[in-house]
A and B are shown apart, each in its own frame.
Chain A
Amino acid sequence: MNDAPYIIEIEDLQTRFGQHIVHQNLDLRVRQGEILTLVGGSGSGKTTLLRQMLGLETPAGGVVKIFGSSRYNCNPALNKSIRSRTGVLFQQGALFSALTVYDNVALPLRELRILDEQTIHDLVMVKLNMVAIEPEHANKMPANLSGGMIKRVSLARALALDPELLFLDEPTAGLDPELSESFVQLILDMRRELNLTIVMVTHDIDTLAALSDRIAVLADRKVVAAGTLEEIHHYPHPFIKNFFKTMHNKHQLIGNRE
């Protein structure tokens, strides 16, 4: 695992919003096949970093390389190839509200213009089955879905093109514990089945512990530590101490209750 090639390389990244500096000299690497979690306090620029990896925002300086080529200033063909090899699960789902569940998942497949409608249908049904959405929900509109279903449908849409790289923005936010646990299980299954590399932003400690191979901690405008949960745990930094203190408290709470 540790000799797998890097799929994302970020070097010397700088981000500024007006006078406010968000990132400075930020370095981060993601290996193929791992699940990397970004954690950090609110306002530490996790989502901004994710958006920069997606090419939605351009940093003030530095390099973001995905699949070995720069995310910015690349030609349209390369850009398109990168986009079809990555999938994103947005925090709010970002389903197209004017399209049905079926059409939402079918949209990226239709955009390729190489598949016939029957193949698209089969693919959509397989993807919906993967995320445990019953076929009778396929014709519903996103406005009529529950929060958990919106997450699952948008995961199905993110997986529609069988991407190698998946970005998850707060995958379990807004889900109840049981649903969030089943969602975590779902992502683990997907990963085993599809050999995914996943970059994730989360605040939820259970999700973090269950999914991450490696954790990158964003604080003081850069990645202060990156490593496995055990490695990070003992790293002397106030934010990390606080973060894991809440984790202990939570587990104690459950322990005391029992």
Chain B
Amino acid sequence: MNKHKSVSDWYQLVDDGTVQRLILTGNLTLAALDSNFRQLSGELSRHARNARILWDLSDIQRMDTAGIVLLWKVWGKKRPDTLILRPEHEKMLKRIESLPETAPRLKKRNPLWAIHAIGAPFLLFWANLSGMIMMVGQLALDSLFFLRHPALIPWREISANLYRTGTQALGITALVGFLIGVVLSYLSSEQLQMFGADIFIVNILGISIIRELGPLLAAILVAGRSGSSMTAQLGVMRVTQELDALTVMGIPHSQRLIFPKIIGLGLAMPLLVLWTSAIALIGGMVAAEIQLGLSYHYFVHTLPESVPIGNLWLGLGKGVVCGMAIALIACHFGLRIKPNTESLGEGTTTSVVTAITIVIIIDAIFAIVFSDVGIVR
């Protein structure tokens, strides 16, 4: 509403020969000043250079903290020599005068910042690594404990995790698997047609999907899907003090939260791998039929001959290891989340990125270690 008001509406300078009076009028509030704040501050500062000026604040209708802070800054952080003001404004001024002098904090750069910048990631890496090793150790201890006390195994939690990470992921893994199967089959068959080696499409699809793509696709999808949700769940439980409540009740996190997650995903992953591979093969089979005219019957019959069964075991093995690794990483980063919102987002991101990286590293390790398994020479 004060859009068109000019700055001069807030003050007038009266010179009656002997003294110069600067009379402030109107509402000296943040809402009323709005965009005129800086301009008024600048103009008043010009007048404030004249030390003999009489400041008359008694005509002000309303003044808020922003108003008095403006004047305080204009006066150069001290009371002017001649000043008329009402008692309520006197109180506000007194409050500002009594404030200890503090400057806005400036970011000081540590002289050793370069060393910090290099060292901090290493320390963080070490902390994460040792944290995860400890968690593996704890998992082993918990497994021993449950072997001795089978009645205490948290079946319900394991089953819930199996459902959430396995059953509910069937749709998305099927969709992605099918499409990848179609694409792979289509591209390979074009190349194979050039050499007249159409029938080798079964070998290519069989080996690549069952051995590599199925497990990897499922693992990456699960890392993004279940890894993030596990981390966020633990993180929110930290923020809302639910983790503390569990500890106080004497329920260890490792047994009731982490163990079922790792075991649950360790069980769900190989099943998802099997599912993804199967759907991807179906996708490839459909594309091969369309592109090369290879019958379904031929495809299904040739598959067991051209792909040694070792590849399937290898794929399922990858699934178990990747699943447990994803859950482990998710739990580790979930428990590291501090009770604030930024840490929650950061933790979830780190968890997913780490999980996907680790999944690919695990895949590479499998490729090297089991290089002579399931390959026909």
Cα separation A139 to B107 with both chains bound (whole Å): 12
Q: Does A195 contact B (CB under 8 A)?
A: yes
Q: How large is the interface on A (under 10, 10 to 19, 20 to 34, 35 or more residues)?
A: 20 to 34
In the complex, which of the residues A123, A139, A143, A161 contacts B340, with contact meaning CB atoms closer than 8 Å?
A: A143
Indicate if the CB atoms of B95 and A126 lie closer than 8 Å: yes
Residues of A within 8 A of B73 (CB): 118-119, 122
In the complex, which of the residues B65, B95, B96 contacts A162, with contact meaning CB atoms closer than 8 Å?
A: B65
Q: Does A107 contact B (CB under 8 A)?
A: no
Q: Does A193 contact B (CB under 8 A)?
A: yes
Cα separation A118 to B33 with both chains bound (whole Å): 17
Indicate if the CB atoms of A84 and B104 lie closer than 8 Å: no
Cα separation A126 to B231 with both chains bound (whole Å): 41
Indicate if the CB atoms of A143 and B92 lie closer than 8 Å: no
Q: Does B180 contact A (CB under 8 A)?
A: no
Residue of A with least CB distance to B67: A162
In the complex, which of the residues A84, A112, A123, A125 contacts B102, with contact meaning CB atoms closer than 8 Å?
A: A125
Residues of A within 8 A of B143 (CB): none
Cα separation A137 to B344 with both chains bound (whole Å): 24
Q: A84-B31, A112-B30 in contact; A143/B105 too (CB < 8 A)?
A: no
Residue of B with least CB distance to A81: B31
Residues of B within 8 A of A119 (CB): 37, 41, 66, 69-70, 73
Shortest 7 CB-CB contacts between residues of A and residues of B? A97-B340, A98-B342, A162-B64, A121-B104, A122-B69, A114-B37, A97-B341
6 example contacts (A-B, Cβ-Cβ < 8 A) are as follows A98-B340, A98-B341, A112-B30, A121-B103, A135-B100, A135-B102
Indicate if the CB atoms of A193 and B70 lie closer than 8 Å: no
CB distance from B26 to the nearest CB of A (A): 15
Between B65, B72, B91, B103, the greatest number of chain A beta carbons within 10 A of the residue's beta carbon is seen for B65
Between B62, B64, B105, B338, the greatest number of chain A beta carbons within 10 A of the residue's beta carbon is seen for B64
Cα separation A95 to B103 with both chains bound (whole Å): 24
CB distance from A78 to the nearest CB of B (A): 11
**B 335-356 binary contact with A (CB < 8 Å = 1; else 0):** 0001111110000000000000
CB distance from B208 to the nearest CB of A (A): 45
Indicate if the CB atoms of A114 and B38 lie closer than 8 Å: yes
Indicate if the CB atoms of A127 and B65 lie closer than 8 Å: yes
**B 35-73 binary contact with A (CB < 8 Å = 1; else 0):** 101100100000000000000000000101110111011
Given A123-B65, A162-B30: 10 more A-B contacts, CB < 8 Å: A97-B342, A98-B343, A122-B73, A126-B68, A126-B69, A126-B96, A129-B98, A135-B102, A161-B31, A193-B92
In the complex, which of the residues A81, A97, A112, A194 contacts B339, with contact meaning CB atoms closer than 8 Å?
A: A97
**A 94-119 binary contact with B (CB < 8 Å = 1; else 0):** 00111000100000000010111111
Indicate if the CB atoms of A122 and B72 lie closer than 8 Å: yes
Cα separation A96 to B341 with both chains bound (whole Å): 8
Cα separation A193 to B91 with both chains bound (whole Å): 8
Q: Does A130 contact B (CB under 8 A)?
A: yes
Q: Does A93 contact B (CB under 8 A)?
A: no
Cα separation A123 to B104 with both chains bound (whole Å): 11
Residue of A with least CB distance to B98: A129
Cα separation A112 to B37 with both chains bound (whole Å): 11
Q: Does A85 contact B (CB under 8 A)?
A: yes
Residues of B within 8 A of A122 (CB): 69, 72-73, 96
Residue of B with least CB distance to A189: B91
Residues of A within 8 A of B29 (CB): 162
CB distance from B171 to the nearest CB of A (A): 30
Residues of B within 8 A of A98 (CB): 340-343
Q: Does B372 contact A (CB under 8 A)?
A: no
Q: Does A142 contact B (CB under 8 A)?
A: yes
In the complex, which of the residues A115, A118, A194 contacts B104, with contact meaning CB atoms closer than 8 Å?
A: A118
CB distance from A70 to the nearest CB of B (A): 18
Residue of A with least CB distance to B104: A121
Indicate if the CB atoms of B37 and A193 lie closer than 8 Å: no
Residues of A within 8 A of B41 (CB): 119
Indicate if the CB atoms of B37 and A115 lie closer than 8 Å: yes
Q: Does B81 contact A (CB under 8 A)?
A: no
Cα separation A122 to B65 with both chains bound (whole Å): 10
Q: Does B34 contact A (CB under 8 A)?
A: yes
**B 221-238 binary contact with A (CB < 8 Å = 1; else 0):** 000000000000000000
Indicate if the CB atoms of A117 and B104 lie closer than 8 Å: yes
Cα separation A193 to B103 with both chains bound (whole Å): 26
CB distance from B337 to the nearest CB of A (A): 12
